[in-house]
């Protein structure tokens, strides 16, 4: 477990928080040092002259009146003055400014001069050698009032809150374009419609979004070119195929040959139909809430009229937002695959599972190896000839995968219990498609 966040937003926020904490700590340290500097600056040349006068007055003090004299001098010079009886006062200063002050006072007042600090009482003690006796003079250094301390604390807290809010807003501002780009990439990968990203903000983000928008435009152009190509080829092939079918019916007297040629032509027409289905762009078709039975029942009637054994079992399935024509193509491709590669009977099942609707098409054929499923979902890919033969364009599962993504669904090909293949489409039953 690591305390370092994984997201860019978390890392930026933590980094800015660390900077704020360090800056606040530095401010407090500098504040304390400034107080020591202020205390040292009090002892200007005028203060040194006062100390020299105080030392001279102490040297002239009558021993019998020393107590009263010390009190009077203390009042005059604003200090606490006591005789040096060997006891210590406070601690030696460590601040460089106060150490320098001690050196200066020793130069001005004699080598016996010392300074000590008594932090709790906010006193600076100076030892003065006056004649044959030594005295300690304690001076109060500036102590901020409670009101000033309260104001300083309030302003510090306000500054901290403002800095934290600014850091949070700045981190979100920097991370938002990356989140938008991540969502856009996910949408493109899922086959969803993605509008161009805004080309504004920092120059790096603008360059990145501009490159993504250019890539998106290139992908759309390639998709349009492919659709146009496939539609054009399919349209051009269907005209000679129609003439071939007419020629077979009119000019061929061998019944077996005619049936074989007609079957080949029909297979070619189905392949062209798959090309057209694959090239068709359904993203612009609006979603409409429809019952699944409205799509499945008419489709199965066509298979029943053609003599195919296809069974349908529908559970309690609510109406779904869908593109009905695209959903019909999805089911027809799954049923065609099951009939071609698995044989009859084909079972179609629809049921609800929590917040999803599951549609399954099962056959009893040889099945698909699990390691081949992803490969077979790619366009123009066919399975093993032992299962699929040489027919088909390899677009059936690719069309199903595309339409499933278009509806926000998941498409899985599984091994069916008891043998065969189970094609499963799991669709969300709510809005958001």
Residue 213: which CATH number?
1.10.287.130
pLDDT at site 9 = 65
Q: Given pLDDT bands bounded at 50, 70 and 90, which one contains residue 186?
A: confident
Domain membership of residue 23 (yes or no) is no
Nearest to 191 by CA among 370, 430, 399: 399
Strands 346-353 and 310-314: parallel
Tens-place pLDDT, residues 404-427: 888 888 899 888 888 888 999 998
- Of 281, 314, 334, the last residue of a domain is 281
Q: Given pLDDT bands bounded at 50, 70 and 90, which one contains residue 390?
A: very low
pLDDT at site 348 = 92
Q: Let me know whether 275 and 297 are in one domain.
A: no
Q: Where are the alpha helices (DSSP H) in 280-395?
A: 292-305, 324-341, 373-376, 385-388
Q: Let me know whether 332 and 378 are in one domain.
A: yes
- Count Cβ atoms within 10 A of the Cβ of residue 407 and give its class: 0-12 exposed, 13-18 middle, 19 or more buried: buried
> What would the 3-class secondary structure string for 270-295 be?
HHHHHHHHHHCCCCCCCCEEECHHHH
pLDDT at site 361 = 92
Domain membership of residue 239 (yes or no) is yes
pLDDT at site 37 = 64
Domain membership of residue 26 (yes or no) is no
Residue 420: which CATH number?
3.30.565.10
Note whether 293 and 329 are within 8 A (CB).
no
> What would the 3-class secondary structure string for 246-265 be?
HHHHHHCCCHHHHHHHHHHH
Tell me whether the omega of the peptide bond preceding residue 345 falls within 30 degrees of 0, making it cis.
yes
**DSSP one-letter code for 142:** P
pLDDT at site 431 = 39
Q: Let me know whether 419 and 304 are in one domain.
A: yes
Note whether 421 and 363 are within 8 A (CB).
yes
pLDDT at site 18 = 78
pLDDT at site 381 = 61
pLDDT at site 99 = 80
Strands 123-130 and 133-140: antiparallel
Domain membership of residue 174 (yes or no) is no
Q: Let me know whether 375 and 354 are in one domain.
A: yes
pLDDT at site 386 = 46
Q: Let me know whether 273 and 316 are in one domain.
A: no
The pLDDT of 220-224, averaged and rounded, is 73
Domain membership of residue 383 (yes or no) is yes
pTM of the model: 0.45
Q: Let me know whether 273 and 309 are in one domain.
A: no
Q: Let me know whether 132 and 206 are in one domain.
A: no
The pLDDT of 27-40, averaged and rounded, is 63
- Of 246, 281, 316, the last residue of a domain is 281
Domain membership of residue 175 (yes or no) is no
Tens-place pLDDT, residues 80-121: 888 877 766 778 887 777 787 788 888 888 888 888 888 777
Note whether 345 and 383 are within 8 A (CB).
no
Name the average pLDDT for the chain.
Answer: 76
- Residue written as token pair 């054994």: 309
Q: Give whole-number Cα distances, 229 to 216, 265, 283, in Å.
A: 20, 21, 19
Most confident region among 22-26, 186-190, 355-359 by mean pLDDT: 355-359
Residue 283 has pLDDT above 60, yes or no: yes
Tokens of 17: 């928080």
Q: Which residues pair with 411 in a beta bridge?
A: 425
Residue 360 has pLDDT above 90, yes or no: yes
- The 10 Å Cβ neighbour count of residue 198 is 12
More confident residue, 393 or 322: 322
Q: Let me know whether 305 and 400 are in one domain.
A: yes
Q: Given pLDDT bands bounded at 50, 70 and 90, which one contains residue 225?
A: low
Domain membership of residue 27 (yes or no) is no
Tens-place pLDDT, residues 295-338: 888 889 988 988 889 999 887 887 888 888 888 889 988 998 88
Angle between helices 8-42 and 146-189 (to 10 degrees): 160
Q: Which residues pair with 422 in a beta bridge?
A: 362, 414
**DSSP one-letter code for 91:** B
- Of 231, 261, 281, the last residue of a domain is 281
> What range does the domain containing 94 cover?
43-140
Residue 100: which CATH number?
3.30.450.300
Note whether 104 and 5 are within 8 A (CB).
no
Domain membership of residue 146 (yes or no) is no
Q: Let me know whether 295 and 326 are in one domain.
A: yes
* Structural domains of the chain, count: 3
Q: What percent of the chain has pLDDT over 90?
A: 5
């Amino acid at each position: 477990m690591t305390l370092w966040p994984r997201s860019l937003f978390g890392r930026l926020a933590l980094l800015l928080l660390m900077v704020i904490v360090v800056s606040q700590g530095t401010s407090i340290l500098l504040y304390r040092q400034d107080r020591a500097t202020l205390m040292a600056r009090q002892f200007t040349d005028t203060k040194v002259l006062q100390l020299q006068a105080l030392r001279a007055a102490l040297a002239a003090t009558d021993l019998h009146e020393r107590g009263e004299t010390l009190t009077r001098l203390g009042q005059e010079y604003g200090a606490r003055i006591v005789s040096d009886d060997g006891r210590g006062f406070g601690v030696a200063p460590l601040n460089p400014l106060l150490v320098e002050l001690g050196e200066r006072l020793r130069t001005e007042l004699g080598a016996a001069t010392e300074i000590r600090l008594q932090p709790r009482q906010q006193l600076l003690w100076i030892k003065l050698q006056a004649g044959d006796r030594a005295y300690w003079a304690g001076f109060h250094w500036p102590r901020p009032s409670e009101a000033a301390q309260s104001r300083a604390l309030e302003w510090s807290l306000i500054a901290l809150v403002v800095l934290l809010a600014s850091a949070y807003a700045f981190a979100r501002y920097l991370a938002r374009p990356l989140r938008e780009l991540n969502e856009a990439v996910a949408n493109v990968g899922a086959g969803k419609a993605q509008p161009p990203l805004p080309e504004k903000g920092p120059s790096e983000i603008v360059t990145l979004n501009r490159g993504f928008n250019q890539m998106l435009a290139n992908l759309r152009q390639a998709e349009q070119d492919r659709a146009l190509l496939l539609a054009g080829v399919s349209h051009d092939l269907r005209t000679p195929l129609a003439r071939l079918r007419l020629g077979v019916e009119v000019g061929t007297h061998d019944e077996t040959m005619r049936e074989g040629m007609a079957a080949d032509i029909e297979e070619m027409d189905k392949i062209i139909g798959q090309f057209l289905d694959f090239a068709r762009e359904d993203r612009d078709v609006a979603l409409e809430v429809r019952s699944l039975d409205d799509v499945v029942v008419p489709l199965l009637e066509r298979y029943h009229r053609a003599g195919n054994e296809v069974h349908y079992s529908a559970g309690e399935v609510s109406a779904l937002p869908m593109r009905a024509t695209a959903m019909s193509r999805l089911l027809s491709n799954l049923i065609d695959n099951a009939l071609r590669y698995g044989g009859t009977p084909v079972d179609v099942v629809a049921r609800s599972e929590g917040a999803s609707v599951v549609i399954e098409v099962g056959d009893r054929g040889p099945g698909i190896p699990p390691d081949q499923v992803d490969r077979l979902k790619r366009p123009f890919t066919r399975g093993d000839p032992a299962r699929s033969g040489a027919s088909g364009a390899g677009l059936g599962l690719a069309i199903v995968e595309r339409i499933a993504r278009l509806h926000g669904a998941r498409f899985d090909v599984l091994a069916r219990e008891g043998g065969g293949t189970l094609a499963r489409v799991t669709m969300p039953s709510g809005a958001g498609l």
